[in-house]
Structure 1
């Protein structure tokens, strides 16, 4: 399998490309500005030299002739010939020199830049139009090329060094995170190892830690579920086996007990399957809450012990099966662990609807309240013994969280227990009587 590029190489390449582009643009702009300024400076020198040479040529004395002789040694001479045709375009800096000189003289046609074997600048005399002052141009092309190449090489080395350091600083936290990822998923904190790392790396480490904790919690729940299934199924299966061995199938009362054991097995398996299948794949629909509650109340073994207090219409956006299962479990818990009368109360609370299911039983010890909802945690013996699977509250809590709500559990003032579901209502819908 072909290996892809490392993060370090990608970041390094990106930084190098960005810096080279920035330096190239900056160098081009600064070079152009520098050449323009250089052209203006040399243009002034050209005008000054041409004016001095023209003034000396108009004099007929020994000092003037000596000065002209010195100028000839520096490449400045007088010529009555027309400027020769240029072989190629002059270098930009000489063009800037000619432009600046023509502007200073007030007549750009008086200045001609000739590029032959050596660059020359011809300036027409203002006194004698047939006479030209010829100055040798400085050969800047080779010097410019050499200096530009040297500057680019130096800038490239600096850019490479800076990019390598920056790429190392950016990728080092990721390398540390990758090296300690197994420990992070195992629950170990990497706060010291990631000290000074960018915020994004710390956020990624936190997300990985949370994901690892969820995986560990899921594994613990499955182990606990398997242990609970083994425990919960063992007793009814043992009773069924004993009844079959004793030949109790012919006795009607014994058969009823066997059917009860089978129902208990079916309910335990259904609860376990409901807990494993969290219902997140169920479609989210509009659900009329009072209708669902009415259907569940009609299925109670003694509906007369229940009372509904709430609006006749309250639309929720949720998963119907999960909501029905959560409310049914809370009602089952109230009947199993509490005492009549039972009540279901529904009322609005901001942008949510509050569903309270309460009983008048002995309540729950305060030490146990914080643990309620954990898988296979059954109610206190004072609330009805150890019947049930211990998954009802966990399923209800998960259903509430999937709908964007939460489950609250508390003892009632004056005795009893109340389970409260806070669920968001659909947009534009409010519970009404």
Structure 2
């Protein structure tokens, strides 16, 4: 399997490429600007030299003129009646071509200027007084030295760019390396390493996200362990009764048979609640549902529907997960019948920012010390209210409320009894 490059290598190559590209662009712009400056400044000096030489050459009898021409000859300015040599096959230097173009433009006649490079660079300018005479300016070539200097500067710039890229890459990837080294500890619940406090904001957010994910995973693991323990406890008693009944041969007795069927229904109910707790209902899509109709259907399925009252508007539409909310509301109604006393009521109300589904009973309520813990998986209210159950009804209702962005509210009624309310936020229109 091909090994993927490290983050440090990727960042190093990226920063180095960016710096080298910037240096290349800067060098190209500098050469272009330098060529323009050289052609303009050198072209003006060449024009001045050519005009002065042409005027002095027009006065061959003047001793002062001959003396100045001699000095100019020593400086590389010559007069020639021969034709300019044919330019070499090699392409002329860009700077020489630019200077020749500038001189021709200033003279007003580009045909008077010929640039050659055989091998030294020369500029031939035709005299304005004598078309057969040419003024030759020798332009020394600094190209080899410039190439050497440019190569040296490029090497130095490349080394500096690589050093800067390495430093930048190290500064960028060091927090990621520390985070990778601490990721397992963060998932296990360890506090964030103080060394990450000075890291970039994205690294700190990633560390917090890993810590939150670890907390959720540990919570899920605890719930699974608790669920397995609860299942083993809840199934043991009815299975023992069924085994004893079968050993005693009670299947022929109608009363004993009804008790066995009740045990089987209890087993089925416990398993159904556990499966509902595990599935969570996240995969169910939101649908516009009439909550009044949903509550009315649940009331019609009760064994003693006359003990129940439905209070609220005739229609209350809301985007919910109908199967999950139906199970949550049904669990609250089961708890009311199991732990409370009639009359029971289901109330639906729409407020400015939320919808509330409330289930109330007139029983003894929950013990004050137990009330803050209600809703934990497999926690039963038997000690305060009596009855059986799997201990998952309120947990499923609370999870359903949270999946809708709401909350489950549990409280004792001031006049006696218990109230469980699912409060769902209303999405903005």
The answer as to whether partners of 2:182 and 2:193 remain within 8 angstroms in 1 is no
Measure, in 2, the Cα distance between the counterparts of 1:188 and 1:427.
39
SS in structure 2 at match of 1:346: strand
The answer as to whether partners of 2:350 and 2:356 remain within 8 angstroms in 1 is yes
Q: Name the TM-score, length of structure 1 as normaliser.
A: 0.91
Task: Describe how 1:398-413 pairs up with structure 2 within 5 A.
Answer: 398-413=399-414
- Residues 155-174 of structure 1 show CA distances to partners (whole Å, capped at 9, x for unaligned) of 11111111111111111111
Residue 431 of structure 1 corresponds to which residue in structure 2?
none
- Residues 275-317 of structure 1 show CA distances to partners (whole Å, capped at 9, x for unaligned) of 1122223344333222221111112222122111112222333
Residue 58 of structure 1 corresponds to which residue in structure 2?
58
Q: Name the TM-score, length of structure 2 as normaliser.
A: 0.92
Shift of 1:121: 0.8
Stretch moving more, 401-410 or 46-55: 401-410
The answer as to whether partners of 1:333 and 1:392 remain within 8 angstroms in 2 is yes
Shift of 1:425: 5.9
CA spacing shift, 1:426–1:69, aligned 2, 3 Å? closer
Task: Describe how 1:130-169 pairs up with structure 2 within 5 A.
Answer: 130-169=132-171
Q: Can you give the 5+ residue segments of structure 2 that lack an aligned partner in the other structure?
A: none
Task: Describe how 1:175-254 pairs up with structure 2 within 5 A.
Answer: 175-254=177-256
Stretch moving more, 163-172 or 229-238: 229-238
Residue 416 of structure 1 corresponds to which residue in structure 2?
417
- Residues 336-376 of structure 1 show CA distances to partners (whole Å, capped at 9, x for unaligned) of 22222221111223354221112223333444333221101
Residue 17 of structure 1 corresponds to which residue in structure 2?
17
SS in structure 1 at match of 2:195: coil
Measure, in 2, the Cα distance between the counterparts of 1:370 and 1:109.
101
Measure, in 2, the Cα distance between the counterparts of 1:234 and 1:316.
41
Residue 30 of structure 2 corresponds to which residue in structure 1?
30
Stretch moving more, 137-146 or 281-290: 281-290
Shift of 1:27: 1.4
- Residues 376-406 of structure 1 show CA distances to partners (whole Å, capped at 9, x for unaligned) of 1112622x22521110011112222333433
Task: Describe how 1:62-101 pairs up with structure 2 within 5 A.
Answer: 62-87=63-88, 88-101=90-103
Residue 293 of structure 2 corresponds to which residue in structure 1?
291
Residue 278 of structure 2 corresponds to which residue in structure 1?
276
Stretch moving more, 127-136 or 105-114: 105-114
Across the aligned residues of Structure 1 and Structure 2, the Cα RMSD in angstroms comes to: 2.3
Kindly indicate whether residue 28 of structure 2 is the aligned counterpart of residue 42 of structure 1: no
Shift of 1:251: 4.4
Residue 351 of structure 2 corresponds to which residue in structure 1?
349
SS in structure 1 at match of 2:359: strand
What is the aligned length? 427
Q: Work out which of the residue numbers 331, 334, 349 in structure 2 matches 1:332.
A: 334
